[in-house]
Structure 1
C-alpha cells in the first residue's frame, strides 16, 4: 500500500509540476513535438524510399542468351539448375517466339503491315533468353561470374548502373537516417534536461525542506522524472496526428500529379507506416523525457 501511495504521490506531483510551470510545460511539449515530428517524418521518408528501392529492384534482372541451336530441353534443364542457386529469386524463360511477339507489340503495334512482311519467319529465332531475378542486387556480380562459366550461354546482359545506383541509394538513406535521428535525439534530451532543471530551481526551497525531513532519493526525484515522461508522451501525440494528415495528403497529391510514376512506384500504405511510427513516437517521447529528467535530477538534486 505504501508503495502504491508513494507512486500515486509522485505521479500526482508530476502533474502538479506541469500545472505549476505551464509556460515551461508548453515549451517542452513544443520542443519534443518538433523533434518527434522531424524524426517521424524522416522515418516515413526512409521507409518509403526503401520500399521504392525494393519495388524497382524487383524489376531489375540479368538476361542471358543461349548458344545458337541449343535444344529447348537443354535450355529448360539449365533453367532448373539456375533456379537452384541460392542467390537467385526466380528465372523467367522467354522463348524465341515469345521474344518476337514482344518485339512486335513494342515496335510494330502501330505498323502491323511491317510485322506481316516477315510472314512466318522469326528474325529473333536465336533470341531465346532467361530473365534472372536476384534475392539481392549486390549479388549480381557473383551471379554473372557464375553464369560466365556455365556452358550454353553466349551473352549476358546485366543492369550494372541500375544495380549500383539502387544499392547506393539504400546505403545513403540508411546512413543519413541514422545520423539525423541521433542528432535530433541529442538535441531533444538537452532541451528537456534544461526544462527540468528550471523546474528544480523553482522548487529549490521545497526540495531543501524535503531533504531535512529525510525524504528518500526516489521520493524527491520521481516527480520530476514522471513530469519528463508525461511531457514526452504528450509531445509525441501531437506530431503523430499532424504526420497522419500530411502523409495522406502527400499520397493523394503524388498519385494525382504524377500518375505515370505512381503506376510504377507507390507509397507504403499509411497503416504500415504508422504501425511503426506510433510505437516509435511514444518510445522516443517517453525516452527523451525520462533520460532528460534523470540527467537533470542526477546533477541538480543531491539527497
Structure 2
C-alpha cells in the first residue's frame, strides 16, 4: 500500500469513527468489557496453574527396596531412576533419616520418650528409599510402571488420587478458558461487524462512485479496516490499564482480609501476568477489529 493511500485510509478511518461515534463507542465499550473479563479470567487461571504447579512439585513418589539390598545396588537403582525421562529430582532417604522424620512428625516434643522406649532400635530399619518428583504429573502412571520394573524395587508409593484430581483440574481450566475466549470473541466480532456495516451504509453513495471510477478493492476497504483496527486497539489498551492498577490492590485486599487465602495461595506478580496478558489482549483487540471489518466489508461491499 502506497504512503498516500495509507494516509487516506487512516484519515477516512478516523472520519468513520467520528461519524458513527455512538456505535464506535459501543464497540469500544464491548471490547473493553470482553477483554477486561478475559484479563480477569486469565489472571485467575494463571494463578490457579501456578498453584497447581506448586502442589505438583510437592508430590513425591517413594521407592522402597528389597530387604538386604546393599548400598552399591541402591546407588545403581538411583542411576537407573535418573535415566527415566519424566523424573525431575531424586533424594535418598536412609532408614535412620526416615525414623527421625517419623519421630519429629508424630511425636514432636516427645522425642526423649520415644528414644527411651526404642533405644537404638529402628522400627523402620528396612524403609530406606528414594523420594522422587516428576516433571509431568499427568505421566505418573507410566513412570511408576517403569520404576516397578527395576530389579530390587520392592514397592512404589505414589499419590494416584491427588495426581488424577490435579490432571482433571488442569483439563477443566483448559476447557473453561477455551469456552470463555470463544464467547468473548464472538460477541466482540458481532458488535464490530454492526459498527462497520453502519459505516458502509453511511458512505454508500461515496463508495458507489469510487467503484464506478475504478477504485481498487484495497482502496475502498482500507478505511474500514483501519476503523476496525483502531477500535480494537483502543478497546484492548483500556482494560490492560485498568487491570494493571487493580491487580495488586485486589491481592492486597484478599491477603489482608482472608487469612486462609494468604496461607494457601502464592500469587503471581503483575509483571508475570502481563508478560502473557499484554500481547494476547493487544492481538485479540486488533484481531477482532481487523477480521470483523474484513468479514463485513467482504459481505457488504462485494468489490
Any gaps of 5 or more consecutive residues in structure 2? none
Distance in 1, Cα, partners of 2:184 & 2:219: 31
Change (3 A) 1:72 1:254: farther
Aligned-pair distance for 1:263?
5.1
Does residue 142 in structure 1 map to residue 138 in structure 2? Answer: no
Q: Which residue does the alignment assign to 1:95?
A: 94
Distance in 2, Cα, partners of 1:208 & 1:109: 87
Tell me the alpha carbon deviations over residues 149-171 of structure 1, each in whole angstroms, 9 at most, x when there is no partner. 33322222110101111111111
Q: Which residue does the alignment assign to 1:181?
A: 181
Distance in 1, Cα, partners of 2:262 & 2:127: 32
Could you tell me whether the CA contact under 8 Å between 1:55 and 1:265 is conserved in 2?
no
Aligned-pair distance for 1:260?
5.8
Task: Give the stretch that moved more between structures: 122-131 or 6-15.
Answer: 122-131
Distance in 1, Cα, partners of 2:146 & 2:294: 57
Could you tell me whether the CA contact under 8 Å between 1:95 and 1:128 is conserved in 2?
yes
Distance in 2, Cα, partners of 1:253 & 1:96: 46
Could you tell me whether the CA contact under 8 Å between 2:185 and 2:288 is conserved in 1?
yes
3-state SS of 1:58 partner: helix
Trace 1:201-220 onto structure 2 (pairs within 5 A). 201-220=201-220
Tell me the alpha carbon deviations over residues 261-284 of structure 1, each in whole angstroms, 9 at most, x when there is no partner. 645641222112101111111111
Q: Which residue does the alignment assign to 1:161?
A: 161
Q: Which residue does the alignment assign to 2:26?
A: 27
Tell me the alpha carbon deviations over residues 33-67 of structure 1, each in whole angstroms, 9 at most, x when there is no partner. 11212222222222222222221111112112222
Distance in 2, Cα, partners of 1:30 & 1:261: 33
Distance in 1, Cα, partners of 2:76 & 2:211: 83
Distance in 1, Cα, partners of 2:147 & 2:205: 79
Could you tell me whether the CA contact under 8 Å between 1:91 and 1:133 is conserved in 2?
yes
Q: Which residue does the alignment assign to 2:60?
A: 61
Task: Give the stretch that moved more between structures: 79-88 or 202-211.
Answer: 202-211
Could you tell me whether the CA contact under 8 Å between 1:32 and 1:232 is conserved in 2?
yes
Distance in 1, Cα, partners of 2:149 & 2:197: 69
Q: Which residue does the alignment assign to 1:199?
A: 199
Tell me the alpha carbon deviations over residues 274-301 of structure 1, each in whole angstroms, 9 at most, x when there is no partner. 0111111111111111111111211222
3-state SS of 1:133 partner: strand
Output the TM-score relative to the length of structure 2.
Answer: 0.92
3-state SS of 1:63 partner: strand
Could you tell me whether the CA contact under 8 Å between 2:92 and 2:130 is conserved in 1?
yes
Tell me the alpha carbon deviations over residues 216-235 of structure 1, each in whole angstroms, 9 at most, x when there is no partner. 32222211110110000000
3-state SS of 2:125 partner: coil
Q: Which residue does the alignment assign to 1:282?
A: 282
Distance in 1, Cα, partners of 2:31 & 2:191: 9
Change (3 A) 1:300 1:135: same
CA RMSD of aligned residues (A): 2.0
Aligned residues: 302
Aligned-pair distance for 1:78?
1.4
Q: Which residue does the alignment assign to 2:111?
A: 112
